Structure 1
Amino acid sequence: MAQGIAIPPAWADLPFFRKDWPGISERLADQDWLPGPARVFAALDLTPPQAARVVILGQDPYPTPGHANGLAFSVTPETALPRSLKNIYAELRDDIGAAPPNGDLSHWARQGVLLLNSSLSVLPGQAGVHAKWGWDRLVRQVVERAQAQRPLAFILWGGHAQKALAGLPRDGDLVIETAHPSPLSARRGFLGSRPFSRVNDWLRERGEMPVDWALSEQAAAE
């Protein structure tokens, strides 16, 4: 444990936590960063290796205080949907006919969707500021550990995600690569790509339960 931050037990033996985390945690100690100590490893806390089935990779946490909850593309339930997430939900509705009632994607994570960011920390108002701190090594180690359990479905939106995980998908994995859901690129291949039904079809073919994409933490509790 560093700065009161608990390392997720199921992932604690990854080389990152021995080699990289001590230095990163020292640098974080001098900064007011997001999403903060309680949520920095939320994706790993909610999705242990043996449960991981799908990988969705974002860039870094939202830099607006109170928005990020430690999961890629996800926001706290009371936060208005960011533009990329609006497009994700629009595609969800076109693809499967429904979307979660708010922007909290915790329920996806609890169903085995690894909602990773390539950088797990950011400063308020400074997107990408920690991108070269070494978080990328954790991301690749996490994916490799999850792959040791079963084939994975990769949903890789945009060049950043595709480059960050290059070389990791195997022949037995499902790989869906499209443009990013950002308003700048969503109409260049993201909208109409139907990634959610494609992942569920693949999971069913493997004899696994499909992901219930339309629920959020709030809906799951009701």
Structure 2
Amino acid sequence: MAGEEALFELEAGADPGPFEALPGMALEDLMAPDWARALSGVEDELRSVLAFVAAEAAHGAHVLPAASNILRAFRQPLADVKVLILGQDPYPTPGHAVGLSFAVSGPTRPIPRSLANIYREMETDLGLPPRVHGDLSAWTGQGVLLLNRVLSVAAGAAGSHRGKGWEAVTTAAVTAVARRRSAAGQQSPLVAILWGKDAEAVQPLLEGAPVICSAHPSPLSASRGFFGSRPFSRANALLEMQGADPVIWELPPVP
């Protein structure tokens, strides 16, 4: 499809050029068609924040993630989402951010400490061995939306792109996930896993969908309620109560 071809063309380009191209691209060339429809109401806000990101890159800022990945979470069809895991903003360490919350590329070593804590809790919860890689695409392929509240950051400056417009876009995205309906008009199965105060703030947008809240898996807060929260088994139980298949959380040893 044209959107997929455009994404492949974008990935082949070199930064900062691709950032400059983003504000003028059609939504259908940036994301899955159903996401383009769902986010059409905040298209102006999206173009504005993409223009901000492009300007930052043009002035020499090292913007993360790469232009080809900045809207990566929206390549997964909206209709397929059954678990929402909401993060804060991308990893500010160069080479880490890949456009999916908490994930890194398969070759990245060592993995970020927040992700290591997620693996530690997954082992405690489900008995699954931690992985040395941080490729979480096996989750996204099963309908797990790994979305950050803010979708870009300046390298080395966590939180630097907050308040620039991403929040309006991701508010619309969370609302769209919560409001999906099946062909029969019933609400589609959904479980939201909200880690940290920024993520918890979107709970009113979820329109009664089951929510699992805890502290953030960051080393600064994981011991204050993330460890022992058992989000993976709880999410699967809640999915099954809604008639949906559970997520196979075990990741391949090699991505």
Structure 1 length-normalised TM: 0.90
Contact 2:88 2:148 in 1 (8 A): yes
The Cα of 1:15 is off from its aligned counterpart by 3.5
Equivalent of residue 167 in structure 1, options 198, 201, 204: 204
Q: Indicate conservation of the 8 Å contact 2:98/2:105, yes or no.
A: yes
Q: CA deviation at 1:34?
A: 0.8
Which residue matches 1:143? 174
State how far apart, in whole Å, the 1-side matches of 2:123 and 2:69 are. Answer: 28
Distance 1:95 1:136 in 2: 31
Alignment partner, residue 201 of structure 1: 237
- 1:52 to partner: Cα distance: 0.7
Corresponding position of 2:10: none
Q: Deviations over 1:15-51 (max 9, x none)?
A: 4552112222222222131102110111111x21110
The residue aligned with 2:89 is 60
Residue matched to 1:86: 116
Q: Counterpart in 1 of 2:14?
A: none
Distance 2:252 2:177 in 1: 23
Distance (Å, rounded) in 1 between the aligned partners of 2:251 and 2:238: 20
1:36 aligns with 2:66: yes
CA-based RMSD: 1.9
Q: 5+ unaligned residues in a row in structure 2: which ranges?
A: 1-5, 7-18, 23-28, 181-187
Match of 1:20 in 2: 45
Structure 1 residues 110 and 99, CA, compared in 2 at 3 Å: closer, same or farther? farther
Larger radius of gyration: 2
Q: CA deviation at 1:204?
A: 1.7
Query: Structure 2 CA distance, aligned partners of 1:214 and 1:86?
Result: 14
The equivalent of 1:105 in structure 2 is 136
Q: Judge conservation of contact 1:10–1:48 (CA < 8 Å) in 2.
A: yes
Range moving further from structure 2, 145-154 or 125-134: 145-154
- Name the aligned partner's letter for residue 72 of structure 1: S
Which is worse superposed, 91-100 or 111-120?
91-100
CA distance in 2, matches of 1:77, 1:16: 35
Q: Which residue of 1 aligns with 2:26?
A: none
Work out the CA distance in 1 between the residues paired with 2:123 and 2:253. Answer: 18
Could you say what secondary structure the match of 2:236 adopts? Answer: helix
Shift of 1:170: 2.6
Between the two structures, name the one with larger relative contact order (CA 8 Å, sep ≥ 6). 1
Range 83-92 or range 210-219, more displaced = 210-219
Residue 42 of structure 2 contacts residue 168 of structure 2 at CA under 8 Å; is this kept in 1? no
More divergent stretch after superposition (4-13 vs 68-77): 4-13
Residues 114-161 of structure 1: per-residue CA shift (max 9 Å, x gap): 111111011111111111111111111112212222142111111111
TM-score, normalised via structure 2 length = 0.79
d(CA) in 1 for partners of 2:127, 2:172: 35
Partner SS, residue 12 of structure 1: helix
Uncovered stretches (5+) of structure 1, i.e. residues with no partner: none
Q: After TM superposition, which residue ranges in structure 1, 4 or more long, deviate above 3 angstroms?
A: 1-6, 216-219
SS at match of 2:192: strand
Counterpart residue number, 2:9: none
Call closer, same or farther: CA 1:106–1:154 in 2, change over 3 Å. Answer: same
